[in-house]
Amino acid sequence: MRAVADADQRWIPWMRRALELAALADGYTSPNPLVGAVVLDPSGTLVGEGFHARAGEPHAEVGALAQAGDAARGGTIIVTLEPCCHHGRTPPCTDALIKAGIARVVVALTDPDPRVAGGGLQRLRDAGVEVISGVLEAEAAQQNYAFVHRVRTGRPWGLLKWAMSLDGRTALPNGASQWISGSTARTWVHRLRAQCDAVIVGGGTVRADDPLLTSRGLRNPEPLRVVLSRRLDLPDQAQIWDQSVAPTLVVHGQDAPAEARDRLEALGLQREVLPACGPESLMAVLAQRGCNRVLWECGPELAAAALQQACVQELAAVIAPKLLGGEPARTPLGHLGFQAMEEVVVLQGLRQQRLTDDLLLQVTLSSLSYPC
């Protein structure tokens, strides 16, 4: 991230406004990034604002230009991400800026998408438009961290979430788990789902908890609910099969019985067959479906596999002031392969927040290694 030159400092307040606009569409733009834009006329007066609301709809620059009208000619546009220069669902924004007579483009972040990757800025320069880049670059990169991660790695950003008691249990020995956390924490989870493109569980969670896995109406459409089950040993009746509430995708292995596949077909569920039915393969499928950020709400074995296969970039643990006890009781994570304390993962940069009586701990993971 380069330092902003003194001459470019004047654009910082406007870029902050553009970032605020971009945030209005959080959770709705995948596979596209969050983008906001403001237009100033030649005298520096605000004449237009816009943000990208949803994939397939006009980009932020186009919306801001439409609001500005002829006042944009000879003016400046401040935009959080490099304008696109390729034909997708919408025409290139670079062409719209040039046609509108914009004299200066101020950008926070270069688009990592290989179809753009600096090409948009070069197209503008070639047309005689002044280009200033890197204004609040770090803030823009943070806002689009999930999009940037997917473009660079080919996988969505994965967040693993669990709720547990103070003694580290996610259920009683008999499997009862509703509810470990309080109502404030559960509302926080609904908001978290609304910010994700998919929510992932394994077959064991469907059998044990019969979860609904929605945002409770905070997002429309609801995130995709994904069940990963190699052999499709799933119940006939489950809340997650009701697709009038939210869409459901079942991902399974090639050895799943034909009768189990037929049962899913009869329910009208989407299916995906994977030769290697595990977290890594699933993430590739979800990236192809345009998911930028996914939420793992699975049991301990699948959670451990997701961590070991580098499918988790962030952890969120809700700790309730309760004691469940019992040696056979479930814990959040299965075996990670550690044999000595020197091998265990030490987390840095923990963030904490009170959710009424519960404590939320969050951490972004750096590159981790696990024993084979």
* Catalytic residue set: 61
Q: Long-range contacts made by residues 275-280, C-beta under 8 angstroms, separation at least 24?
A: 277/228, 277/230, 277/251, 277/252, 277/253, 278/228, 278/305, 278/309, 279/228, 279/305, 279/306, 279/309, 279/311, 280/309, 280/310, 280/311
Q: Please name every residue paired with 318 in a beta bridge, in sequence order, or none if there are none.
A: 163, 360
d(CA 125, CA 43): 22
Give the sign of the dihedral formed by CA 54, CA 58, CA 64, CA 67: negative
d(CA 95, CA 84): 9
Residue 334 near residue 300 (C-beta atoms within 8 A): yes
3-class SS of residue 116: coil
* 105 CB-near residues (< 8 Å, 6+ apart): 76, 77, 79, 83, 97, 121, 124, 129, 130, 131, 132
3-class SS of residue 285: helix
Q: ∠ CA 158-161-163 to the nearest 5 degrees?
A: 175
